[in-house]
Amino acid sequence: MPTRPRIIFMGTPEFAVASLDAILRAGYPVIAVITAPDKPAGRGMQLTESAVKKYAREKGLPVLQPEKLKNAAFLDELRSLAADLQVVVAFRMLPESVWNMPPMGTVNLHGSLLPQYRGAAPINWAVINGETETGVTTFRLQQEIDTGDILLQESFPIGPAETAGEVHDRMKDIGARLLVRTIDGLAAGTLREKPQTVVAGLRHAPKLFNETCRIDWTRSTDSIYDLIRGLSPFPAAFTTLEAKILKIFRAEKEHFATDAGAASPSHPPGYADTDNRTYLRFATADGYIRVTDVQLEGKKRMKIADFLRGYKPRPQSG
């Protein structure tokens, strides 16, 4: 087993950049980077490079952007690179012809403590579900998504007011360090992988859709608060205010039973209560969600006091 394996890195978003940077800083030779094709973005729909591609170009690394991973020409090029190991961070699902190619296999970094939260959005769902702990896992890719043998794991707490974005920003660095430790162990031949133990009550992390983000005000204050945290800053939980979409990025909780300001249970769920100066809150099943950081359809994101200076919503049922 080579002491400095030749690595092909696969990733696309900003989350993956920290891992690629850590691998390079550790002195491992990255012989190519594979990332998503450039995509139209912004008002002008200009072709935009992925965060990983931008970083790779800055470092002078060869970049491949296959449309289809089973394309024969791409597979031939991949084979000709003769990598010892492939590393995947926030990339798409790989066919067996790709993940099974290098002699040391393919290692993936996942943003949960597997087997919990298998799927596309593990950070979001951990926060949405009110978890107080999450972590990162390195594992060997197999055919079924997120099911391969575990190499290393590291856990860390989720703060009670922390958003998915804040967890993401901490996790990318924790994960990058764990990934380097994993490569070190594989190169030294000291890692002992273990199968994932499937237990009852596993939670999953499916892709987020528009309806995932729509707030149901008949739910409990705590569950709505966690939904807002778990979808902030993107794609963001939302409701409607006077027939316009209102995205909510941050909020505070008020419970009927314990908070003096939320003592009256007379408002139906979804009722929008405001003094038009300092607060806007929505009634829930057992209290209120007081929104503090919002974006109204067609407007920019702003703090609630700034929002209310320019917009005077009428109290209403949501």
Domains of the chain by start residue, with CATH: 7-188 (3.40.50.170), 212-310 (3.10.25.10)
Q: Whole-prediction pTM value?
A: 0.93
pLDDT (0 to 100) of residue 315: 58
Q: 10 Å Cβ neighbour count for 2? A: 12
**Concatenated DSSP letters for 52-79?**
HHHHHHHTT--EE--S-TT-HHHHHHHH
CA 317/CA 273 separation, integer angstroms: 9
pLDDT digits (tens, 9 = 90+) for 224-265: 999 999 999 999 999 999 899 999 999 999 988 666 555 555
Name the 3-class secondary structure at 21: helix
pLDDT above 90 as % of the chain: 85
CA 37/CA 64 separation, integer angstroms: 9
pLDDT (0 to 100) of residue 183: 98
Return the higher-pLDDT residue of 267 and 194: 194
pLDDT (0 to 100) of residue 212: 97
